[in-house]
Every structure is written in C-alpha cells, then in structure tokens.
Amino acid sequence: MTSSDISVRINDRIFTITPGASLREVRDRVKPTADVLVVNGFPAVESYILQDGDNVALIERGEVPSQHELEALMVSRHSPGVHASLKQAAVGVAGLGGLGSAVATALARTGVGTLILVDFDVVEPSNLNRQQYFLEHIGRPKTEAMASLLTGINPYTRIVSHQMRLDPTNTSSVFKDADVIVECLDRAEEKVMLLETVADRLPEIYFIAASGLAGYGESNRIRTFRIGERIFLVGDLVRAAEPGQGLMAPRVGIAAHHQANLVIGLLMNPAQASQEAEDLFSHHPPEE
C-alpha cells in the first residue's frame, strides 16, 4: 500500500485500491459476476469513482452467498453506520400478535442484535388475518413459530424466547437486559400492568406502547407520541377494537412499523427521536 492508496470495504472485507478507480474496475477485479452494485447503502452506477472509506456491496442475483458475506449483503441497503450500532442492541417485544410479530420481523430485518420475545399463546386460525404466521404454524407456540421465522430471515439476530404470561413478578427479570421494550399486548389491563411495572422497576429502559389501531382507513391518524421521559405511545388513541370494529393487517401493520421505526431512532439517536415525538404531541395532540 502506498501513501496515495485508499481503502474501501467490499462485501465486508477491506481492499486497497488506487485513487480514481471506478466501481466497474473493482467489480471486475473482485466479483465479475455481480449485477447489483451498492455503495454506502444506495445503488450505484458502474462509472462511480470510489472514495476512501466507501462501503461496497457486490451482489449476484440468485446467488446464495457464503456465511462470511451474508450478513454484510443483507444490510447493504442500510444507511452507513446503522448496522454496527444496532447489532449491539437488545430489544424486548411483549406479545407476538399483530403488532409484535410485525415489530419483531422488522427489527430482525434491520439487524438488531438480540430480540427478547415474550408470549404465552399459540397460533390459531384467526391470527392469520393480521399476524406474520402461516398455516403451518397453527397450534405451535407463538414464541417458537416466531423464532423459526426470524432465524430464516436473519440468522445473525439472537433470539431469546419466553413462553409465559408477563406479570409484575417476572417482567423485570425477563427484560432487564433490554435497551427498549415494545408493548404489543391485547388487553388494556395487561398494557397498564406492563407500563407501570417497567416505569417502577426498569425506569432506565425506553418503553413504546400502542393504542387505537382498529378498523381500516385513516392511516395518517396513527402517530407516535412521547408521553413521558422514556415512554412513547403509537396509535390514534381512539379506535380500540370492539364488536363491529376488528383488527386488520394494514392498520395494525402501520402502527407496528411506527413502533419499530421509533426503536431504531431511540437506539441510534435517542435525543433526536424523543424530541421529534414530543414535538408531534405538542403540535398535534390526539384527536378526541
């Protein structure tokens, strides 16, 4: 390596190249069969001139990469620096129904290092209208089914499963290692119990709850609010499930991805994510 050479990361390996080298030249040298070229999280043209510190993914459509390359290629479209931070994080998901199964799936795809999954129930047919399960999972514990799904999505996420019902006596031990807890429970009394227990016994952990997700339509009424120092709430806070107004995949999915997106924000830049949610609550309070 000369003093003028530059270093780039290609498929998670460091390469030394001469200044002025194009992406095409490097592709032809390292992986000539690659037909998807990504630089710093964004598709790039072959003529792009590589810069010192660039992160490059060279992907061949249809190829199953080696284990060494797989994780790097999975997150090649992320913003630079995100994966390294998320890989160190642990997130608890309380409840693996419509919200929790979608939250867990999104976080596994994003590369969160550890997911702590808690649910006492089994998959049943009516779950399939909004939850991330398949016919083959009916009758299996949700923790078991979800662990299997997530391992198939991202084998580098560590899954810690607890098939149990949360209560004030076990919540602290289950979630003590989490950076963020996402509340995805069904019943109002369970939601209140979890919030009160976390606020009392795990006050240093961020907590993201949800309320008001039923029905369809009115997508933009589902929002993210900051309601405490480390407590956030997602939903329209109005439309609870009731006879004649059930839970459906699109609206539940919107809320779940609000929750998952806030998790990423809190892990990457907690001050900014918290301020954005607080500003929204101040300027757009929940509608009555």
Domains of the chain are 6-69 (3.10.20.30), 82-283 (3.40.50.720)
Q: Which two tokens stand for residue 211?
A: 């309320």
Residue 114: the pLDDT is 98
pLDDT of 281 above 60? no
> Kindly report the CA angle at 96 between 123 and 90, in degrees rounded to 5?
145
Q: Are 111 and 87 in contact (CB under 8 A)?
A: yes
Residue 81: the pLDDT is 81
pLDDT of 286 above 60? no
pLDDT in tens, 24-49: 999 999 999 999 999 999 999 999 99
Residue 55: the pLDDT is 93
Measure the CA–CA gap between 89 and 223, rounded to whole angstroms: 24
pLDDT in tens, 137-189: 999 999 999 999 999 999 999 999 999 999 999 999 999 999 999 999 989 99
Residue 265: the pLDDT is 96
pLDDT of 1 above 60? no
Sheet strands side by side (includes 158-163): 158-163, 114-119, 90-94, 180-183, 206-210, 231-235, 223-226
Residue 276: the pLDDT is 80
Confidence band of 3 (pLDDT split at 50, 70, 90): low
Q: Which of 9-18, 118-127, 251-260, 273-282 has the lowest mean pLDDT?
A: 273-282
pTM for this model (two decimals): 0.88
Residue 203: the pLDDT is 96
Residue 284: the pLDDT is 56
